[in-house]
């Protein structure tokens, strides 16, 4: 077993597909499959469950993943510290981003960091908050930019932005107050629900004695906005996403309990090498 094998294992675990992992590793599927089988033989445990849709980690695979990432991190940290005199030869930061982080990342902090470390490179993973948290907990990411609400157990955070909730709708077919809204204004409207916030909305509606009508449920804020633009109801989404994608009327909702935060998060138990600590401070 060597560092090269462990790095390949981490890519396969992240991609969940040998073909996609082989492309990232600039190799082909047969030698990579053979390499993973040899690794399983060396550790004496089945690391993957292979199926028609790709591969998943076994329980042993998830355990091995933590150790493999720690070994690769320590190897990277040792190399970084040994060449501190060669400013900027730092390596890679694995950064997870939600789709609605586009207006926040990249930013001045990242530009400042790359001026200090001109050979630093970023490996970006784009997914939803819960997928990024899974990868962060599996040590596949160093940092992630995610949106609340979320389970902060075992995590540290830095808030990057606070978003109020807004209503997106076609004003030719739906009539609402133009300046700002409260939950009562939405009581009799066909709502387009981004499931990410279903528990949040339901809790607050229940406390106010409102029974909402969800005309549409979907799994992406951009889909909710698209349906609202086309007159199918009122989409309730964070303001920064509406600013990026909405083409119809956008009205803020004056209800702080529905505000969300975009946060930079990382594991409390993660050993941080200097460049990542520097980035966190800059953010």
Q: What is the pLDDT of residues 271-280, one digit of tens each?
A: 777 788 888 8
Q: Which residue has the tokens 């389970």?
A: 151
> What architecture (CATH level 2) is domain 83-161+260-283?
3-Layer(aba) Sandwich (3.40)
Distance (Å, whole) CA 105 – CA 258:
23
pLDDT of residue 81: 64
pLDDT of residue 82: 63
Name the 3-class secondary structure at 183.
helix
Q: What is the pLDDT of residues 69-95, one digit of tens each?
A: 888 888 887 777 666 535 544 567 899
How much is the pTM?
0.67
Q: In what order do the strands lie in the sheet with 249-252?
A: 213-218, 190-194, 234-238, 165-169, 249-252
Contacts of range 201-208, beta carbons closer than 8 Å, 24 or more positions apart: 201/236, 201/258, 204/255, 204/257, 204/258, 208/183, 208/184
Distance (Å, whole) CA 43 – CA 47:
9
Alpha carbon 23 to its chain centroid, in Å, reads 22
Average pLDDT on 209-228 reads 95
Q: Determine whether 44 is exposed, middle or buried from the number of CB atoms within 10 Å of its CB (0-12, 13-18, 19+).
A: exposed
Task: In the chain, list all ranges with CATH 1.10.10.10.
Answer: 1-76
Place 102 in a pLDDT band, splitting at 50, 70 and 90: low
pLDDT of residue 122: 87
Q: Which two tokens stand for residue 67?
A: 């150790």
- Write down the H helix ranges in 138-282: 198-207, 221-229, 239-245, 274-282
What is the b/e burial string over 239-252, where b = at least 16 CB atoms within 10 angstroms of the residue's CB? bbbbeebbebbbbe
The fold adopted by the segment(s) 165-258 is D-Maltodextrin-Binding Protein; domain 2 (3.40.190)
Tell me the C-alpha to C-alpha distance, in Å, between residue 40 and each of 5, 44, 64, 134. 11, 6, 10, 23
CB atoms within 10 A of CB 174: 17
Given a cut of 60, whether residue 185 has pLDDT beyond it is: yes
Residue 97 pairs with which residues in a beta bridge? 126, 145
Given a cut of 90, whether residue 270 has pLDDT beyond it is: no
Range in 19-33, 42-56, 91-105 the model is least confident about: 91-105
Range in 49-63, 81-95, 239-253 the model is least confident about: 81-95
Pick from 173, 170, 166: nearest CA to 197: 166
Task: In the chain, list all ranges with CATH 3.40.190.10.
Answer: 83-161+260-283, 165-258
Q: What is the pLDDT of residues 107-117, one digit of tens each?
A: 888 888 888 77
Distance (Å, whole) CA 93 – CA 140:
11
CATH class of the 1-76 domain in this structure: mainly alpha
């Amino acid at each position: 077993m060597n560092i090269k094998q462990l790095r390949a294992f981490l890519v396969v675990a992240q991609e969940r597909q040998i073909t996609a992992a082989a492309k990232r590793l600039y190799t082909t599927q047969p030698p990579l499959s053979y390499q993973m089988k040899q690794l399983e033989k060396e550790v004496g445990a089945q690391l993957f469950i292979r199926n028609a849709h790709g591969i998943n980690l076994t329980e042993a695979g998830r355990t091995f993943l933590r150790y493999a990432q720690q070994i690769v991190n320590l190897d990277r940290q040792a190399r970084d510290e040994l060449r501190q005199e060669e400013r900027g030869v730092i390596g890679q930061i694995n950064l997870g981003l939600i789709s609605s982080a586009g207006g926040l990342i990249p930013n001045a902090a990242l530009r400042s960091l790359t001026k200090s470390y001109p050979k630093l490179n970023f490996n970006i993973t784009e997914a939803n908050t819960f997928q990024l948290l899974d990868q962060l907990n599996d040590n596949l990411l160093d940092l992630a930019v995610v949106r609340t609400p979320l389970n902060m157990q075992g995590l540290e955070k830095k808030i990057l932005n606070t978003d109020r909730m807004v209503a997106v709708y076609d004003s030719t077919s739906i009539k609402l107050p133009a300046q700002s809204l409260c939950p009562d204004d939405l009581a009799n409207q066909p709502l387009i629900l981004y499931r990410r916030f279903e528990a949040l909305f339901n809790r607050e509606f229940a406390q106010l004695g409102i029974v909402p009508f969800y005309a549409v449920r979907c799994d992406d804020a951009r889909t909710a906005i698209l349906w609202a633009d086309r007159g199918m109801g009122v989409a309730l989404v964070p303001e920064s996403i509406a600013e990026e994608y909405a083409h119809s009327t956008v009205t803020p909702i004056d209800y702080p309990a529905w505000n969300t935060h975009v946060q930079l998060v990382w594991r409390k138990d993660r050993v941080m090498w200097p460049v990542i600590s520097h980035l966190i401070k800059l953010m």
